[in-house]
Amino acid sequence: MPPEMNSAKSDQSVLARDEAGSRAGQLRAEINLANRLYYVENAPELDDAEWDAKMRELLALEQTYPELKTPDSPTQRVGAPPSPGFDEVVHRVPMLSLGNVFDEEGLSAWYQRALDYLELESTPMVCELKIDGLALAITYRDGVMERAATRGDGERGEDVTANVRTIRSVPLALENDPPPVIELRGEVFFPNSKFAALNAEREKAGLPAYVNPRNSASGSLRQLDSGETAKRPLDMFFYALGYIEGARQPSTHWELLQAVRNWGGRVNPWTRRANSIEEVMAAISDAGEVRESLDYGIDGVVIKIDSLALQSRLGYVGRDPRWAIAYKFPAERVETTLKAIHVNVGRTGALTPWAELDPVMVGGVKIGRATLHNRDEIVRKDFREGDRVIVQRAGDVIPQVVGLSPNNKRSADSISFVFPGRCPSCGTETVQTGDEAVTRCVNGTCPAQFERLLEHFASRGAMDIEGLGERVAQDLPRLGFVKSIADIYRLAERRGDLLELEKMGETRVKNLLNAIENSRSQPLSRLLYALGISRIGSESAEWLSRRFRGLAALKVATEDELLAIDGIGSVVATTLVDYFAVEQNQRLIDDLIALGVNPIDDTPEPSADHPANGMTFVVTGRLETMSRSEAQSRIKALGGKATGTVTGKTDYLVAGAEAGSKLEKAVRLNVRVINEEEFIAFMDRGIVPSAPGS
């Protein structure tokens, strides 16, 4: 027994080290079980006093023998010491988003696309509530929670383990023989019933109120002091598998959900299986009915293909899985008064009118501004200041004014809105070209456009420079500190000037400069997207990055080179060539390179030396292990061409069962015919099928 113990407590109350260890283990198990029954299964077995007593005993033991404090101890839920920030977590498997549909037609189309891809007549699905919270990925190693990470941008999130430990319904340790390593994903949310109370408290403390439960979940989870998170009643449901190691993967999603329940994880009790779109629609209508009775927000139903093997065959298109879809509930609509119409100048010079509203609650959020789309929309609907209007908001979509209220009554002095003929920022005459609905300011040096561009450049999906938000993006150019994007990387030399900015103290300046410095290592695709070139989204930026590898090569790309990229059409190609033809833009690129902001994309080209690269294939007949679409995707991924017609230029015909006229034609034209087995060896291992007879 450590000597200091004798003085601290009476001999009887202090257990020997060994005994203490086993008693602590027992208490941990009892408390964790009690917590699970209480928080996960809603069937408490211990009363509060018993629970408190066990907890106090365990705390005392751990205080005496700190080495007994295991990461899965329930005492760890009270919160770890404040952290200076969150570590970055790179997700092993990206956390992607979901495509949306809004009606039965969209839903059927999604299902049919999946069936076509798989060449199936039907396949079972699972329907779940789409919880309006925050996605989390939690890794358990040997059953114990090792790490919890937010979704972040999907590739990289934040390590919020200390905070997640404080969420009572999240098991610190899984039970019943969990896999050696498993990452489970789910949604954290803030119960509606506790939301008003939290805001009341915040107001009392002089803190800004959260706009909705979702934001309060996010705010609570991102507290630097996990003791603070521990005070928030966060809750969580698991709904997906990130990855699994050392154990068999369940064969269906349904089976996974049962397994998670068995390990002690909370799974939403409203979960339905469906075998047809009719059954899915019935489930959706049921979900719409239970919605009102839930203590958390849902904004739709998520429909998933049940078989995990089929899920992995289906894979992803862009950022959305083919194997799941979100059916969104209709947007909520509310009536209010349109107080004033303002016009904003966007990054590309587009003038967008927006409505200042009498604030109203729409779908749990207070709305004071909404978009009015464009000039034509205002003319068509004749929106006027002072009108009663209908406002709607769907999920994360920007709130919009959809029309005049049937109750709208105008006073005699009401007048139609006159759209400004000049840019509200720089005064340049605006233009509206051809059939484009947008009115633009075409002044390339318009200050408002540049401010928006700065904001976009620094935004999370772009260069991710925290601290360069709306206000700083206005101040920097107005004070002349930043005249071009490249100047951002010259700010380090103007530390003194930055301190002059409003609300910028030492710490903020330091953080901003650090964030700028860190942004230098963003990949090329991010930088390309960040430049805000019209029509270049994050996906096309990735294709460009892969093809050109660096700014220098992209700057001189020709239209033909651009058109040769799968996914880049003539409009985008022209836009890019035009962009790089502008002298200012050329100078910007040169400046960035000179300042060392010149990321190089060195991801290896998977298909460059694969023998299928550059070859032309036709796939016909029924394959055993994959569908024709999958075979075609694989050919394209390796740099080959997959076409529908056999010609003299076809290198290989991949013939499955019941191949018909294409096979005949291939034989006639002397095109090499290979079977599925040869095709797979070719694709997987690069084994070129030998010539017939050799």
Binding site for ligand IVH (CB under 6 A): 96-98, 128, 130-131, 135, 151, 187, 239-240, 302, 321, 324, 326
Q: Which is nearer to ligand IVH, 154 or 523 (CB)?
A: 154
Nearest to 167 by CA among 268, 236, 224, 214: 236
Q: Which is nearer to ligand IVH, 305 or 626 (CB)?
A: 305
Nearest to 627 by CA among 277, 315, 275, 249: 315
Q: Write down the residue that tokens 């203590």 correspond to.
A: 295
Q: In what order do the strands lie in the sheet with 235-245?
A: 144-150, 134-141, 181-189, 235-245
Q: Which one is catalytic: 9, 69, 130, 503?
A: 130
Shortest gap between Cβ of 569 and ligand IVH (angstroms)?
A: 27
Q: What are phi and psi of 549, to 5 degrees?
A: 70, -20
Q: In degrees to the nearest 10, what's the CA dihedral of 287, 288, 294, 297?
A: 100
Contact status, residue 125 vs residue 274, Cβ threshold 8 Å: yes
Q: Which is nearer to ligand IVH, 40 or 528 (CB)?
A: 40
DSSP string for 430-462: PB--TT---EE---TT-HHHHHHHHHHHHSTTT
Greatest extent of the chain over all pairs of C-alpha atoms, in Å: 98
Its sign, for the CA torsion 642, 646, 650, 656, is positive
Rounded to an integer, what is the distance from CA 277 to the centroid of its chain? 27
Helix ranges, 308-434 (H): 308-314, 375-381
Shortest gap between Cβ of 666 and ligand IVH (angstroms)?
A: 39
Q: In degrees to the nearest 10, what's the CA dihedral of 470, 97, 354, 215?
A: -60
Number of C-alpha atoms within 13 angstroms, CB side, residue 509?
A: 17
Shortest gap between Cβ of 155 and ligand IVH (angstroms)?
A: 13
**Residue with CB nearest ligand IVH?**
135
Q: Which is nearer to ligand IVH, 133 or 477 (CB)?
A: 133
Shortest gap between Cβ of 98 and ligand IVH (angstroms)?
A: 4
Shortest gap between Cβ of 376 and ligand IVH (angstroms)?
A: 31
Q: In degrees to the nearest 10, what's the CA dihedral of 39, 40, 44, 48?
A: -20
Q: Which is nearer to ligand IVH, 98 or 528 (CB)?
A: 98
Contacts of 561 (CB under 8 A, 6+ apart): 547
Q: Which is nearer to ligand IVH, 97 or 584 (CB)?
A: 97
Shortest gap between Cβ of 149 and ligand IVH (angstroms)?
A: 13
Which tokens sit at 357?
Answer: 């509203």
Q: Which is nearer to ligand IVH, 99 or 424 (CB)?
A: 99
Shortest gap between Cβ of 40 and ligand IVH (angstroms)?
A: 17
Shortest gap between Cβ of 25 and ligand IVH (angstroms)?
A: 35
Q: Which is nearer to ligand IVH, 178 or 321 (CB)?
A: 321
Q: What are phi and psi of 251, to 5 degrees?
A: -90, -20
Q: Is 130 a catalytic residue?
A: yes
Q: Directed axis angle between helix 470-478 and helix 447-458, to 10°?
A: 130
Q: Which helix (H) or strand (E) holds 328?
A: strand 324-328
Which residues form the catalytic set? 130
